[in-house]
């Protein structure tokens, strides 16, 4: 199976380039083109092998969800000229990620299990179990780290440190709650529960825009609705639709991104297992299988589709 681990393109009118953990970003005057590679990261480490179709799955789910929430907040997306490419407006990003949780899972559960009853300044009641529904969704923001781990931060710290103004932060909170409610509705229609997710925002002409990806299995955690309550009552693990299965595989093989730990070998079988799960994720989200095009030269296809789109704009 074919995959793209990185791109090294050069376009006319290009003004800059940035390689993130999993995406390659090409800058132009007032727009940017984001190429969703098939790189995969976990515990803030990019794993050694690319996962076929992963980039396409994430890019297309994000595009569908940006369209489905555009009545709540303007977003950066202009076009998707290729299954792996999104082109959109350049925005000045807020230096926080708005993490919102409807259930006690993942990082929040680990903090709670270790005795914390306040996460990012938000109090939590006693007596909750892993994956329980919270009394109401809570926002647990984190700072955007250019390198290493994002850090939890409270609303008061964000405002007091001047990271985001109080006026803007109130607006971001309001939009975040509305997006989460919409994401939960969309998930429910597919028999899924949106457990937690994160949103990133930016400013363009002093107006708030939703940027980056939204409601994808890399930025969100989902449970299957069917059997959720029975599993909770029996104290069983929930069946998840998220990147958590990759983290679990790494943990089982002795890797959590800590110093001195080595990424376990990613055999062809493991790569195919992860790719199959991403394809299953897409079908679960959308109700239809992904239209896969196992192009012999993904790089050429992506380059030509993006270049043709850019040419038409000038």
Q: 110 with 214, same domain?
A: yes
pLDDT tens digits along 89-102: 999 999 999 999 99
Q: Of the ranges 161-165, 194-198, 256-260, which one carries the lowest mean pLDDT score?
A: 256-260
Q: 132 with 186, same domain?
A: yes
Distance CA 304, CA 15 (A): 19
Q: 145 with 178, same domain?
A: yes
Cβ partners under 8 Å of residue 259, min gap 6: none
Q: 28 with 128, same domain?
A: no
Q: 170 with 232, same domain?
A: yes
Q: 48 with 163, same domain?
A: no
Average pLDDT over residues 208-221: 93
Q: 79 with 177, same domain?
A: no
Q: 81 with 100, same domain?
A: no
pLDDT tens digits along 96-134: 999 999 999 988 999 999 999 999 999 999 999 999 999
Q: Would you state the pLDDT for residue 247?
A: 87
Residue 11 lies in a domain: no
Decide if 142 contacts 134 (C-beta within 8 A): no
Assess whether pLDDT exceeds 80 at residue 83: yes
Residue 111 lies in a domain: yes
Q: Is 240 helix (H, G, I), strand (E, B) or coil?
A: strand
Domain finish residue from 224, 241, 258: 241
Q: CA-based Rg of the chain, rounded to a whole angstrom? A: 20
Q: 99 with 235, same domain?
A: yes
pLDDT tens digits along 161-193: 999 999 999 999 999 999 999 999 999 999 999
Nearest to 198 by CA among 217, 171, 170, 225: 217
Average pLDDT, the chain: 93
CATH classification of the domain holding 282: 3.30.200.20
pLDDT tens digits along 43-53: 889 999 999 99
Assess whether pLDDT exceeds 60 at residue 254: yes
Residue 46 lies in a domain: yes
Average pLDDT over residues 141-164: 82
Q: Would you state the pLDDT for residue 295?
A: 64
Token output for 25: 């970003």
Average pLDDT over residues 149-165: 88
pLDDT tens digits along 18-61: 999 899 999 999 999 999 999 999 888 999 999 999 999 999 99
Residue 6 lies in a domain: no
Decide if 130 contacts 178 (C-beta within 8 A): no
Q: 37 with 149, same domain?
A: no
Q: 215 with 300, same domain?
A: no
Residue 186 lies in a domain: yes
DSSP state of 75: B
CATH classification of the domain holding 217: 3.30.470.20
Residue 213 lies in a domain: yes
Residue carrying the six token digits 């009545």: 71
Domain finish residue from 225, 241, 257: 241
Distance CA 144, CA 177 (A): 20
Confidence label for 207 from pLDDT (cuts 50, 70 and 90): very high
Residue 1 lies in a domain: no
Q: 110 with 199, same domain?
A: yes
Question: Which residue range is the domain that position 74 belongs to?
Answer: 16-92+272-313
Decide if 201 contacts 170 (C-beta within 8 A): no
Which stretches of 28-128 are assigned E, i.e. beta strand? 31-36, 41-42, 45-46, 77-82, 85-89, 92-93, 96-103, 118-119, 122-123
Q: Would you state the pLDDT for residue 114?
A: 95
Residue 161 lies in a domain: yes
Assess whether pLDDT exceeds 70 at residue 294: no
- The number of folded domains in the chain is 2
Assess whether pLDDT exceeds 60 at residue 194: yes
């Amino acid at each position: 199976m074919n995959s793209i681990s990185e791109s090294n393109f050069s376009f006319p009118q290009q003004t800059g380039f940035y390689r993130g953990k999993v995406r390659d970003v090409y800058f132009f005057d007032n727009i940017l083109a984001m190429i969703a590679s098939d790189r995969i990261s976990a515990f803030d480490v990019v794993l050694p092998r690319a996962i076929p179709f992963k980039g396409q799955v994430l890019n297309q789910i994000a595009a569908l969800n940006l369209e489905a929430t555009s009545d709540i907040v303007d977003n950066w997306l202009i076009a998707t000229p290729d299954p792996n490419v999104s082109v959109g407006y350049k925005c000045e990003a807020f230096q926080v990620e708005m993490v919102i949780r409807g259930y006690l899972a993942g990082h929040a559960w680990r903090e709670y299990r270790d005795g914390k009853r306040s996460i990012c300044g938000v109090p939590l009641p006693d007596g909750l179990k892993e994956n329980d529904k919270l009394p109401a969704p809570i926002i647990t923001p984190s700072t955007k780290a250019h390198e290493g781990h994002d850090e939890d931060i409270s609303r008061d710290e964000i405002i007091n440190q001047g990271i985001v103004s109080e006026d803007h932060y109130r607006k971001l909170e309001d939009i975040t709650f509305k997006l989460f409610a919409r994401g939960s509705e969309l998930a429910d229609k597919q028999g899924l529960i949106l457990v937690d997710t994160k949103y990133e925002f930016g400013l363009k002409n002093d107006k708030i825009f939703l940027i980056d990806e939204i409601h994808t299995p890399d930025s969100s955690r989902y449970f299957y609705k069917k059997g959720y309550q029975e599993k909770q009552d029996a104290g069983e693990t929930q069946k998840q639709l998220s990147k958590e299965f990759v983290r679990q595989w790494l943990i089982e093989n002795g890797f959590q991104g800590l110093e001195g730990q080595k990424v376990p070998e990613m055999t062809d079988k493991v790569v195919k297992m992860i790719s199959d799960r991403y394809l299953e994720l897409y079908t679960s989200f959308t109700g239809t299988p992904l239209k896969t095009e196992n192009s012999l030269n993904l790089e050429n296809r992506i380059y030509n589709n993006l270049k043709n789109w850019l040419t038409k704009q000038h």
